[in-house]
Amino acid sequence: MTKAEQKYVIGIDLGGTFIKAALFDLQGALLEKTKLPTQAEAGPGTVVDRMALAGTSLLQKANLTTGDLLGIGIGVPGNHDFTTGTVLFSPNLDWRHVPVKTMLESKLPVEVYLDNDANAAALGELWQGAGQGAQHMVMITVGTGVGGGLILGGRLYRGATGSAGEIGHTILVEGGPRCNCGIQGHLEALTSAPWMVKRVREALAQGQESSLTNVVNIEAKDIFKAAGEGDALAQKMVAETAKYLGMGLANLVNILNPELIVIGGGVSKAGSLLLEPIREKIKELALEVPASSVQVVRARLGNDAGSYGAAALVLHSRKIL
């Protein structure tokens, strides 16, 4: 295939703080990437202008035009109408009913595809990450929040209103900690990075001994590091997080019978320290047959996962992936 015949896709990871965008060929090679502040406080018009700027910059770097693009994909946290490309609600951006697809297509004359960032992450891992070749896969991202995406029969499953896969908002403990959504006992309130840090700080305030006492601004990575070094409090927090993640995933194993569970997000960087107890909890709680066949692995795409996933939205929507 000559360059003139080749087509490309742009994937945009739209976050509350940064816009990350990358240009890919259809074989999955990342050719160019860029990152710029979102400036969400300036409103949707400014943010869309900045996404257009990111896309134009990528094309210029690669000496391409919009005519060389198959499409632009955008992954955004929140709830969306993916058929119209409208952000219904995104707390990270403080947006409601923003017609992103129409707005960006007026700036760049190319088809735009939009979906939840967790759905995009699942497609990215299916395309070029840990999920390649999978037909039945669960993707869960554990970081500031807990998101999920479902690949069933080789296709992204969105559900009746596009909200499928919200594993972070499944209830595990009645009357448990209150989630940011307002409901008590959600998985997100028991396993996300901010909640891990909150529980550690509470324990330290009660006088529990830990090497974390000497850390000024504790982050989840500090807890995992301390746990790996034998700190008892940190190990307790990691064990608790793994227990609840294992419980939530065991439920999904029984309901969906996936062949693969891919865990991404900042908390996944703990590696086997977290994955091994999750695997054990699934074996303990899930039915024997689906539990024996499912694999639990760490996501592979790292810091570029959002861009890969957004680009994969284009391919999935056009039945290429």
Please name each of the domains of the chain with its CATH number: 8-123+304-317 (3.30.420.40), 133-299 (3.30.420.40)
CB 48 within 8 A of CB 40: no
Per-residue b/e over 238-273, b at no fewer than 16 CB within 10 Å?
A: beebbbbbbbbbbbbbeebbbbbbbbbbbbbbbeeb
Per-residue confidence (pLDDT) for residue 310, from 0 to 100 = 97
- Which segments of the chain are extended strands (E)? 8-14, 18-25, 30-37, 69-76, 79-81, 86-90, 95-98, 112-116, 137-142, 146-152, 155-157, 260-264, 295-298
Per-residue DSSP letter, 168: G
CB 173 within 8 A of CB 185: yes
Per-residue confidence (pLDDT) for residue 2, from 0 to 100 = 44
The HSE-up count of residue 298 (CA atoms within 13 Å, CB side) is 14
Q: Is the pTM of this model over 0.85?
A: yes
First to last CA, the chain: 19
pLDDT beneath 50: ranges in the chain:
1-2, 4
> What Å distances lie between residue 5 and 1, 2, 59, 68, CA to CA?
6, 5, 16, 9
Per-residue confidence (pLDDT) for residue 1, from 0 to 100 = 42
Per-residue confidence (pLDDT) for residue 321, from 0 to 100 = 87
Per-residue confidence (pLDDT) for residue 181, from 0 to 100 = 84
Per-residue confidence (pLDDT) for residue 5, from 0 to 100 = 67
CB 123 within 8 A of CB 149: yes
